[in-house]
A and B are shown apart, each in its own frame.
Chain A
Amino acid sequence: MADKTISLIITRQDSPDSTPYEETFNVRYRENMNIISALMEIQRNPVNANGEKTAPVAWESNCLEEVCGACSMVINGTPRQACSTLVDKLEQPIRLAPMATFPVMRDLAIDRSRMFDSLKKVKAWIPIDGTHDLGPGPRMPEKKRQWAYELSKCMTCGVCLEACPNVNSKSEFIGPAPLSQVRLFNSHPTGEMNKGERLTALMEDGGLAGCGNSQNCVQVCPKGIPLTTSIAALNRETSLQSFKNFFGSDYAY
C-alpha cells in the first residue's frame, strides 16, 4: 500500500497557565487506526508538519475500550473518547482539542478531579461498614438490576459536563454525571437506606438546581445513560425531600 498520511491539528498547551496554540502533525496512515494510535505515532516521532522537532503531545488513556473515561477529548468539535474514535470515520484534517471545561494540565490531558470531588459531595457510595457483620443486604429484583446497570455504566469521562451550557467557570453546577449517580445509589436496596442524605446533598448550592434542562448531556453521553430522566426523577424526589426537611416527617430517614 502506498504511504498515505493523515493530518492532525492539535490544540496544545505547555503548562496549566500558558496560552494554548495549534500545531499540525502528519502521521503515516495504518488500517483501523484510532486517535490513540495516531497520538502514539506522534509520540514515537515528535516532528510537526513543518518538519520541526517538538515536544510529544501529552494525553491520558488507560483501558482503550471506552470504559475508563480517561481519554476524553474534543475530536472535530465533538467531545468523545479517543480510543473508540476511528480515524476512518473522521473528516480530515482531524482536529483535537482538550475538553476545556476542565483545567488543562498539558496538551490534551485535563484534570477531572472536580468530578470525583462531586461524587464525594453527593455520597456516591453505599456505607456498609459496621461494628459487626450485618449479614447480606436485601435482594434486588433482576429487572431493576438490569435497569440500574445502565446507570452504572458512567465512567466519569466528563463529556456531559463539556456539553452542558451550565457547567462553566461562572457556575458552581456539578454537572449531570454525579446527579445520575445519586439515582443509581438511591435505587440500590442497601444504598436506599441513606437516600435522604444524598438527596439533601443534591439540594446544596451547585447541586441539582443548577440544571437548566438543555438536555445536551443525554444526547452526548457515550454510554447512552438516561441522564435527563435521572435528573427529572431526582427533581421529583428532592421536591418531596425538601418538604420533609422543612416541615419534618415521621419518616425520619
Chain B
Amino acid sequence: MAENREFFYRRLHSLLGVIPIGIFLIQHLVVNHFAVYGEESFNKAAMFMHDLPFRILLETFIIFLPILFHAILGVYIVFVARNNTSRYGFFRNWMFYLQRITGVITLIFIVWHVWETRVQIGLGNVELDYSLMETILANPFMFWFYLIGVVSTTFHFANGLWSFLVTWGITVSPRSQKIATYATLIVFIGVTYIGVRALIKFAYGI
C-alpha cells in the first residue's frame, strides 16, 4: 500500500461523515417523520424515495460505500485511541470518548437496521411500508434498541460536525469552536427530535 495515505484517508473520513452520510441521515429522518402525519403520508413519502430514478446507484454511492469506508476506518480510529477520561475529565475529552462509543453503537445499530429493513425488502421477505416499522417497533426491546441507535447516530453526527469544522480548518479560534459547540448542540437536539418523534409514532401510534 502506498505510503502517507493517512492524511487523505482521515480527511475523506471526516468529509464523508458530513457529505453524503450526514445529509443522508437528515433526509432519512425527515422522510421517517412523515409517519407523524399518518400512515398514508409515510407510505407516499417512502414510495417516492423508493421510486427515485437510479435508486441502486444512489444507494451505492451516497449510502453504502461512504458508510462502509467511514465504518472501517472508524473502527481503526477507535482502536488506536487510549481513552483517558478518568484522568483528564475535560468536556472535549469526554466528547472525544463519546464520539468513539457512539460510533461503535451506531455501527451495530446500522448493521442490524439495514439487515432488518433494506436487506429483507431486497430479498422480498417484507414490504416497505408503515406496518413494517410498526411491527418492529411494537416490541419494547426493539423500540429501546432503535431509540438508543437513533440518539447515538444523531450524537455522532452532531459532534462529528463539530470536529469536521476543526479538521478542515473552518473553526480555528477557541471562540469559533465554542460557538460551533453550541451550534452543533442545537443540531443534535433538532435532528434527534425529528428521528425520535417518528419512532414514538411507529411504536405507540401517537
Contact = CB atoms under 8 A, between A and B. Distances in A.
Q: Do A and B come from one complex?
A: yes
A165 interface: yes
Interface string A33-51: 0000000000000000000
B98 to A, nearest CB: 11
Given A234-B169, A242-B11, 18 more contacts: A165-B84, A166-B82, A168-B82, A203-B4, A205-B6, A212-B81, A213-B92, A213-B96, A214-B93, A214-B95, A216-B92, A216-B93, A232-B166, A232-B169, A233-B169, A235-B167, A235-B172, A238-B7
Interface string B14-48: 00000000000000000000000000000000000
Contacts of A242: 7-8, 11
B174 A209 contact: no
Nearest to B81: A165
Interface residues of A, number: 36
Contacts of B97: 165, 214
B3 interface: yes
Q: How extensive is the interface on chain B, given as a class?
A: 35 or more
Interface of B: 3-11, 77, 79-84, 87-88, 90, 92-93, 95-97, 162-163, 166-174, 177
B169 A204 contact: no
B88 A163 contact: yes
B168 A239 contact: yes
A206 B6 contact: yes
Contacts of A216: 84, 88, 90, 92-93
Contacts of A170: 79-80, 82
B96 A214 contact: yes
Interface string A232-253: 1111111100100000000000
A226 B176 CA distance: 14
A208 B9 CA distance: 12
19 contacts: A163-B84, A165-B84, A171-B81, A203-B4, A204-B6, A205-B7, A210-B6, A212-B81, A213-B166, A214-B88, A214-B95, A216-B92, A219-B90, A220-B88, A229-B172, A229-B173, A233-B172, A236-B170, A242-B8
Nearest to B88: A216
A207 B7 contact: yes
Contact of B92 (A208, A214, A233): A214
What is the interface of chain B mostly: helix, strand, loop, or mixed?
Answer: helix
Nearest to A101: B82
Nearest to A170: B80
A219 B93 CA distance: 10
Contact of B11 (A168, A205, A209): A209
A24 interface: no
A210 B13 CA distance: 12
Contacts of A77: 87
Contacts of A234: 169
Contacts of B173: 229, 232
Interface of A: 77, 163, 165-166, 168, 170-171, 173, 203-210, 212-216, 219-220, 226, 228-229, 231-239, 242
A239 B169 contact: yes
A213 B79 contact: no
B117 to A, nearest CB: 32
A101 to B, nearest CB: 9
A204 to B, nearest CB: 5
A215 B92 contact: yes
B129 to A, nearest CB: 41
Nearest to A208: B7
Contacts of B81: 165-166, 168, 171, 212
Contacts of B5: 205
Contacts of A229: 172-174
B85 to A, nearest CB: 8
A167 B6 CA distance: 15
Contacts of A165: 81-84, 93, 96-97
10 cross-chain pairs, A with B, having the tightest CB-CB distances, nearest first:
A236-B169, A214-B96, A235-B169, A215-B92, A209-B10, A232-B172, A168-B82, A203-B7, A171-B80, A209-B7
Among B87, B88, B92, B97, max chain A CB count under 10 A is at B88
A203 B4 CA distance: 7
Contacts of A232: 166, 169, 171-173, 177
